Amino acid sequence: MENVIKELELAGIGKVFVNEPLSKHTTMKIGGPADCLVVPKDINSLETIIKIVKKNGVKWRAIGRGSNLLVSDEGIEGVVIKLGEGLDHMEIDGDVLTVGGGYSVIKLATIISKKGLSGLEFASGIPGSIGGAVYMNAGAHGSDMSKILMKAHVLFEDGTFEWLTNEDMHFSYRTSLLQKERPGICLEAVLKLEAGEKEEIVKVMQKNKDYRRDTQPWNFPCAGSIFRNPLPEYAGSLVEKAGLKGHKIGGAQVSEMHGNFIVNAGGATASDVLNLIAFVKETILEKNGIELETEVEIIGRNS
């Protein structure tokens, strides 16, 4: 691993961190160290990183802004690539938007609303990056990324790069091809928006932001929704009816505001969160006969 780190540092590909605590890079403020964390300065640098990693047979994975992510207390083996600075470019051509995978979803939604472009209102309160939003087909308020994505520039597990169309992505509820069928990450997205009335778009955006602020616990470190909604039921409602709001294990707590959020109430470990997830799943299965599936991605050693 030392040789890989030296090679990455000498290659001038961006920032390189050794034994970097991933609690610094997740919205839940939880996670052990990455052997090596790199922040590529552009897509060409990312290609160089992949070549170095593949040549040395080192494990790697990518993260975005760290939302919808629970990293184990033991951290992550190998190289973690963080899509952030350097992959946060944006170009607008009429109603078509090309945006880097590291770009903030909330920032993007705010900027394009002020330009009178409609299509991302649903994302006004969604934390995380565009790459992560495409990866998990993030959505809210009756819409999601599948409604606006034209194509995505993808890096696959085997180190190959490819442009995929919306159809290629096999989108479904909070899911895409990149999660299981062909594991990969979105480096860039081309989005098709619509011209609209700026005042109306901004009004809808503010309404969505206010709703999230009033109903979800963003004043605590959290990862977003923990469970997929077992439609037509809603995970948060099931948890609330089971009397689990506020239930704690260690520093992890089911939010008192929303049953589908687990917050870091102070000093929580990944083990605390996993134990609480297991307890909630067991309770809902016993009471409702419904097996909840996690929406949050759980990664790292022993995960």
Neighbours of 263 (CB within 10 A): 25
Q: Is the pLDDT of residue 281 over 80?
A: yes
262 forms beta bridges with: 254
| Residue 265 maps to a domain | yes
pLDDT of residue 127: 80
| Residue 22 maps to a domain | yes
Domain boundary among 82, 107, 126: 82
- Asked if 112 and 75 sit in the same domain, the reply is no
pLDDT of residue 177: 94
Instruction: Give the domain CATH number at 178.
Output: 3.30.465.10
pLDDT exceeding 90 applies to what percent of the chain? 73
- Asked if 74 and 96 sit in the same domain, the reply is no
What are the pLDDT digits (tens) for 100-149? 999 999 899 999 988 999 999 988 878 889 999 999 999 888 899 999 99
Catalytic, 225? Answer: yes
Question: Which of 34, 43, 35 minimizes the C-alpha distance to 14?
Answer: 43
- Asked if 110 and 27 sit in the same domain, the reply is no
- Asked if 40 and 66 sit in the same domain, the reply is yes
| Residue 230 maps to a domain | no
- Asked if 102 and 144 sit in the same domain, the reply is yes
| Residue 229 maps to a domain | no
Catalytic residue among 7, 121, 188, 295: 295
Long-range contacts of residues 47-55, Cβ cutoff 8 Å, at least 24 apart:
47/161, 48/11, 48/13, 49/8, 49/11, 49/13, 49/79, 49/81, 50/155, 50/159, 51/159, 52/4, 52/7, 52/8, 52/11, 53/4, 53/78, 53/79, 53/159, 54/159
What are the pLDDT digits (tens) for 181-204? 898 989 999 999 999 888 898 888
Q: How confident is the model at residue 207 (pLDDT cuts 50, 70, 90)?
A: confident
What are the pLDDT digits (tens) for 217-249? 878 999 989 999 999 999 999 999 999 999 999
Q: How confident is the model at residue 84 (pLDDT cuts 50, 70, 90)?
A: confident
81 forms beta bridges with: 38, 62
Tokens at 120, concatenated: 């991302």
Domain boundary among 57, 82, 107: 82
For 24, 39, 46, 190, the CA distances from 42, given in Å and listed in that order, are: 22, 9, 6, 17
| Residue 268 maps to a domain | yes
> Looking at the 3D structure of the chain, how many domains does it have?
3
For 94, the domain range is 90-215
- Asked if 34 and 149 sit in the same domain, the reply is no
- Asked if 142 and 251 sit in the same domain, the reply is no
Least trusted range by pLDDT, from 80-84, 111-115, 146-150, 212-216: 212-216
| Residue 222 maps to a domain | no
What are the pLDDT digits (tens) for 19-35? 999 999 999 999 999 99
Which amino acid is it at 57? G
Q: Is the pLDDT of residue 76 over 80?
A: yes
pLDDT of residue 284: 98
| Residue 226 maps to a domain | no
Instruction: Give the domain CATH number at 243.
Output: 3.90.78.10
Q: What is the mean pLDDT of residues 166-174?
A: 94
Q: How confident is the model at residue 157 (pLDDT cuts 50, 70, 90)?
A: confident
Q: What average pLDDT does the structure give for the chain?
A: 93
- Asked if 103 and 132 sit in the same domain, the reply is yes
Task: Match 């090679």 to its residue by tokens.
Answer: 7
Neighbours of 92 (CB within 10 A): 15
Report how far residue 190's alpha carbon sits from residue 259's, in angstroms, rounded to the nearest whole number. Answer: 34
| Residue 225 maps to a domain | no
Question: Which of 153, 121, 116, 152 minimizes the C-alpha distance to 139?
Answer: 121
For 60, 72, 73, 243, the CA distances from 76, given in Å and listed in that order, are: 9, 8, 9, 35
Instruction: Give the domain CATH number at 38.
Output: 3.30.43.10
- Asked if 210 and 105 sit in the same domain, the reply is yes
Catalytic, 174? Answer: yes
Domain boundary among 82, 106, 121: 82
pLDDT of residue 64: 87
Catalytic residue among 174, 182, 212, 228: 174
Catalytic residue among 67, 113, 225, 255: 225
Task: Match 């034209």 to its residue by tokens.
Answer: 150
pLDDT of residue 15: 95
- Asked if 102 and 185 sit in the same domain, the reply is yes
Report how far residue 183's alpha carbon sits from residue 154's, in angstroms, rounded to the nearest whole number. Answer: 10
- Asked if 209 and 242 sit in the same domain, the reply is no
- Asked if 118 and 198 sit in the same domain, the reply is yes
